[in-house]
């Protein structure tokens, strides 16, 4: 896909939103973020990949793949090609008015409107979008493929723990919740 010149234009256009999503990933899953940065660096420089394309340098995400979902339901599934410890990042950016992301394994349904981003353990949790109302549904599903990291010799690290987030929190909050964040 990166061989297509129009892809480079698209990658440049989504760059500002991707930088915000990258920052969110750094906060939510720092180890996964660093592994993703290494994968992007190696991919741009031809390490562990069969071919590079001129558009590779425009890749704006720390995730190794982005699936574009437009005006369709997403059947219930698990993302089997990632690692259970990794998050997928789902970003809704259409014009729909009423959409929900269902997580049947845990009996949850969450609001999933334009501008919403959701980290999900997509390999571990079944997820789906059954329907939406009003406007166009557009979502970018960000994911890592385990085999990409493996081919590049990158250790993806362990799943994040609550204690990983303590350094990003206000000291007053940490004091009130010391037992939760290992302080």
pLDDT for 13 equals: 93
**Model-level pTM greater than 0.75?**
yes
In the three-class reduction of DSSP (H, G, I as helix; E, B as strand; rest coil), residue 175 is classed as helix
**Any bridge partners for residue 133, and if so which?**
98
User: Low-confidence residues of the chain, pLDDT below 50?
Assistant: 180-181, 183
pLDDT for 154 equals: 81
pLDDT for 164 equals: 58
Residue 138: its H or E element: strand 138-143
pLDDT for 17 equals: 95
pLDDT for 181 equals: 46
Q: What is the DSSP string of 74-111?
A: EEEE--TTS-TTSPEEEEE-S--SEEEEEEGGGTEEEE
């Amino acid at each position: 896909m990166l061989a297509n010149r129009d892809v480079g234009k698209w990658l440049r256009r989504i760059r500002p939103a991707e930088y915000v999503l990258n920052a969110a990933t750094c906060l939510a899953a720092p180890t996964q973020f660093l592994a993703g940065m290494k994968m992007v660096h190696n991919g741009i420089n031809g390490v562990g990949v069969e071919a590079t394309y001129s558009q590779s340098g425009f890749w704006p995400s720390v995730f190794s793949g982005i699936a574009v979902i437009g005006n369709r339901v997403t059947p219930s599934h698990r993302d089997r090609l990632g690692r259970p410890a990794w998050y997928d990042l789902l970003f809704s950016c259409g014009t729909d008015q009423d959409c929900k992301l269902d997580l049947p394994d845990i009996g949850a349904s969450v609001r999933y409107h334009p501008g919403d981003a959701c980290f999900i353990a997509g390999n571990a949790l079944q997820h789906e979008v059954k329907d939406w109302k009003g406007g166009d549904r557009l979502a970018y599903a960000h994911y890592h493929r385990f085999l990409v990291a493996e081919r590049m010799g990158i250790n993806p690290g362990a799943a994040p723990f609550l204690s990983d987030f303590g350094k990003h929190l206000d000291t007053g909050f940490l004091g009130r919740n010391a037992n939760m964040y290992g302080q």
